[in-house]
A and B are shown apart, each in its own frame.
Chain A
Amino acid sequence: MKQQLEIKNLSVKVEETEILKDLNLTLPRGEVHAIMGPNGTGKSTLAKALSGHPDYEITSGEVLLDGENILEMEVDERARAGLFMAFQYPSEIPGVSIANFIRAARQARLKEGEELEATQFYKALYEKMDMLQIDRKFTSRAVNEGFSGGEKKRNEILQMAMLEPKYAIMDETDSGLDIDALRIVSDGVNKLRGPERGILLITHYQRILDYIVPDHVHVMWNGRIVKSGGKELALELEKKGYDWIKEELTEPAARA
């Protein structure tokens, strides 16, 4: 069994419009891949389709998580299989503290009849919070209620740390962050890198890749991965802009 997230010929529709077209991508565990591309090219669609958002209709293709096709699974089953998405715009859950939210998520991973052990849970939670330099008071706040952009993203990273996914998709985690918040969040992601985890970093800007250095960079355009390379590809994009990719693609465009 290959320990990788394998996206094969994935096509996705939203309200009758095809957004992803025959997309292929393989993310092995232990690696960080960045997906870059202009706005409206389908990056967030990829994140939501992989997670199983009901508005996104898969018209063809396969997504194999360690060899198992997850497209047949419900949203929560995919999550429990080891897929995590850090949301660009995470919802508020009024009245539910972060601690209780994460506790419910961990509890959901236990067998029926098993009860989460509270002291162990808090021990683990505080360890991760210390690691991510998050204040203890933070987890008694209601999930995302009145949070700044930076706080929302830190909350996502904390959840990721506590749920220990095999594959994490980070959807525009850098959007709306000032430079200090960006550094803090990036530090967190770097601490969560490791051989047991694959990370797919979706971003519009090269900026975050100064802090989270990717193993591979993919360029997405018009619902497809059109170019892949090493971390230097991101710098090239930064210098030349996305138009450079578009121009490169115009010649064989007839086939699209």
Chain B
Amino acid sequence: MATTDTPDLDIKTDIGNFVYPEKHKYDAGKGLSESTINYMCDVKEEPDWIRDFRMKALKTFRDKPMPTNWASKDLNAINFDEIRYYLAGDQKPSRSWDDVPDDVKQTFERLGIPESERKFLAGVEAQFDSEAAYSNIKEIAAKQGVIFVGSTEGLKEHPEIFRKWFGKVIPTGDNKFSALNSAVFSGGSFIYVPPGVKVSHPLQAYFRINAQNFGQFERTLIIADEGSEVTYMEGCTAPKFDTATLHSAVVELVALKGAKIQYITVQNWSDNVFNLVTKRGMAHEDAEIRWIDCNIGSRLTMKYPGVILKGRRARGEVLSIALANDGQHQDTGAKMVHAADETSSNIISKSISVGHGRATYRGLVTMPKHLKGCKNNTECDALLINTNSRTDTYPAITTRGDHNSVQHEASVSKVSAEQIFYMQQRGMTEGQAMSLAVNGFINDLAQHFPMEYSVELKRLIDLEMEGSVG
């Protein structure tokens, strides 16, 4: 198994590679036990039902084995006793940009959050370590009755909505890491969009890990009520550290009748991060859920966004891009569970493997026999740069009955030396040439992304490819 600290791999984007002094008023210390959870609940002043929920989840986490029977053995490198499960500064979630501490602002500055996004800062909820350092609902959204708060605030202030849906799409015991998240979650967003409301601007959150050995366990729950529409954007950069960092989020989406949710992620983790995320949505009748998921960096990413197509004519879509550079393993894919007639799903996955980088696609599509008129389309394209890189595809499509249709296409291509030579002869550096080839490869998919995200993605790929030239 590839490791990440070979000296010539010291090529990560310098964009997240800086650390500010850490001042954490609340620190649960290393390791995980009942007392860690009690400490968290006390500090966060959480209701008892959450304490019980966390305690049960802890037991589930302990009982569940590591999924190393099918997943990477590298998971065994995670030492759960060395991880800090809860850290928080002494600032309460603040409502205005002026209240945000200067060093936090400086961090955002250095992360290069584009100017266009600063315009939307009024709507940004940014996570700095485990508490939201900055949270402000866009005025218009608030006037429309949209709730956009941190998960802790959500469960305290809006229990009637929160409790109804929390843990319903992804039960605690779904997998070992969803159980871990359920035990120690903090941060993340809670969003509720009332019936018929179409949120015009995307709601955004930036996450950032800034403490060594600190696992980040955000929990996001989005409910789009009947006929409503919302787009949520999540971007992550982590500064670089020498020891492994664990990130294990759970994201649950609920699209009620006729609602639309689009969830967009661009992740750029440093290459020592384990990024083990469970994301799933439930689409009711005529509802639509679309995951756009871009994974760059990390030591190991395991993430398979899914949609349960629960109501008739529900639609689900996963558009994903994974870039595995030297020493990295992107194990990503999608799950589509058809549970009603005339449901349709679309999966387009593009992976790029560089050097010793490894990309794996895992797909799961199920259509039971009693259903009619269901459709799935799956496309997986892999691009290899340098002969050492590796790509695997494990599509599991289970279709029963004669009244449904599935389509699966896969391709593997390479960036050839002649292509690189051609581009270099036009004056581009080797890194620029590879970057252009990669951008061309993902181009048809990136066109579906909002403008500012495709721009940011291109910038991240440029940095990543520049760094990958030896």
Contact = CB atoms under 8 A, between A and B. Distances in A.
A95 B425 contact: no
Contacts of B426: 76, 79, 101-102, 104-105, 108, 159, 163
A87 B425 CA distance: 10
A87 B422 contact: yes
Interface string B176-211: 000000000000000000000000000000000000
B443 interface: yes
A109 interface: yes
Interface string A68-98: 0000001110011000110100111111100
B52 to A, nearest CB: 52
A93 B435 CA distance: 12
A109 B427 contact: yes
B440 interface: yes
A153 B17 CA distance: 45
Contact of B425 (A75, A96, A102, A109): A75
Nearest to A94: B440
A4 interface: no
A140 B181 CA distance: 47
A53 B421 CA distance: 7
A93 B440 CA distance: 7
Interface in B430-468: 430, 432-433, 436-437, 439-444
A54 interface: yes
Nearest to A103: B436
Chain B interface, >50% SS class: helix
A51 interface: yes
A64 interface: no
A51 B421 CA distance: 9
13 contacts: A75-B421, A76-B429, A91-B421, A92-B419, A93-B422, A93-B436, A96-B437, A104-B436, A105-B426, A108-B426, A108-B428, A142-B440, A159-B426
B305 to A, nearest CB: 24
A95 B443 contact: yes
Contacts of B141: none
Nearest to A83: B425
Nearest to A78: B425
B48 interface: no
B418 interface: yes
A91 B430 CA distance: 15
A85 B425 CA distance: 7
Nearest to B383: A94
B417 interface: yes
A146 to B, nearest CB: 14
Contacts of B422: 87, 90-91, 93
Contacts of A79: 424-427
Given A54-B421, A91-B422, A76 B427 contact: yes
Contact of B440 (A54, A90, A96): A96
Interface of A: 51-54, 74-76, 79-80, 84-85, 87, 90-96, 100-102, 104-105, 108-109, 142, 159, 163
B423 interface: yes
Contacts of A54: 417, 421
A101 B435 CA distance: 11
Nearest to B417: A54
B419 A95 contact: no
B432 A108 contact: yes
B445 to A, nearest CB: 10
Contact of B427 (A52, A80, A91, A100): A80
B428 A104 contact: yes
A108 B429 contact: yes
B467 to A, nearest CB: 15
A168 to B, nearest CB: 11
A101 B436 contact: yes
Contacts of B424: 52, 74-76, 79
Given A52-B425, A95-B442, 16 more contacts: A52-B424, A74-B430, A75-B424, A76-B425, A76-B427, A79-B424, A84-B425, A91-B416, A91-B418, A93-B436, A94-B441, A95-B441, A95-B443, A104-B426, A105-B428, A108-B427
Interface string B151-174: 000000000000000000000000
A58 B244 CA distance: 47
Given A76-B429, A104-B432, A93 B439 contact: no
B131 to A, nearest CB: 36
